[in-house]
A = this chain, B = another copy of it.
Amino acid sequence: MSHDIRIVTEAELRRVVTLDLAIVDEIEAAFRALAGGTVVMPPILSMALEEAHGEVDVKTAYIPGLDGFAIKVSPGFFDNPKLGLTSLNGLMILFSAKTGLVECVFLDNGYLTDLRTAAAGAVAARWLAPETVTTAGVIGTGVQARLQIEAARLVRPFERVLVWGRDLEKAAACASDIAEATGVEAELCTDRETLVARSQLVVTTTPSRTPLIEPGWLHPELHITAMGSDQEGKCELAPGCLSAADLYVADRVSQCAALGELRAALDGRIAPEAPVELGQIIAGAPGRRSPADTTICDLTGTGAQDTAIASFVAGRLGDTGTVVRT
């Protein structure tokens, strides 16, 4: 039985879908579903290719009510920049949840992952950040530094952005890009402690393996989203931050315990007891209790987000892409 499969390239996807509130809402719905207990989300398949300084992760989830489920493959090959290639690439495949047939192949080179990751940051900010954010700080200078700020601004219309990066030139370029994309004042901040002190919302977006934020820097009226850690060994927050905050929230506790900020806190036996998941807060669990609270959200990235964004994009495709009959 032959059937049609739609192949869509990164350039085509960029024409069809950009970061907006509709995506944020879609990703929020995925988190809410995840908290409902009916989503099937197996552990991440992960393979290291040490010789090539590479790794590949595969994520998936089935969300009842959606017509399809995605399988997302994310290779990261960290010597690629020497070859003029980006480190992160990959594709997403959308399958029918009724027949298992391949419906779409999104040759997105990680673009949809970028969008759904930034959207998760906006969901975290929407539910956890203080109502009033005048200054947002971002640690890191890559694609996610830019996108996380763009996404957060959809839900908290701050007027100033501070950017910290190890490389001052990259941090200045990132600030300039953010100013251009969002129209807000954005500037380099050479000291992380100052950045945290001046911000009500901080997003960490690095692959760091040593903490970048110390517990003593936490202050009232602050939310931190740590989205960089997605592997054993990575860590952006000193483990003490998690219990120093009034509330620690995981995207998925089992993943954060293995790959996120929670891991080091568990190792050090200073982890918050019974951490709550972002989806549970969306579904009604207690979140921020007062404007003065300090909150932390730990994002490792879930297959549910991949299925949500792939389904969303499929609905917007029209006749974009190339149809192959197989």
Contact = CB atoms under 8 A, between A and B. Distances in A.
Nearest to A303: B47
A121 interface: no
A221 interface: no
A270 interface: no
Nearest to A10: B326
A56 B45 contact: no
27 contacts: A1-B84, A2-B10, A7-B324, A11-B326, A40-B47, A41-B47, A42-B47, A44-B45, A45-B45, A47-B60, A47-B62, A49-B62, A49-B97, A52-B98, A54-B98, A54-B100, A56-B71, A58-B60, A73-B93, A75-B95, A75-B100, A83-B99, A102-B107, A105-B105, A108-B326, A322-B322, A322-B324
Contact of A80 (B2, B100, B326): B100
Contact of A93 (B61, B62, B91, B99): B91
Interface string A36-57: 0000111111111101101010
Contact of A42 (B45, B51, B54): B45
B97 A52 contact: yes
Interface residues of A, number: 56
Contacts of A143: none
A324 B9 contact: yes
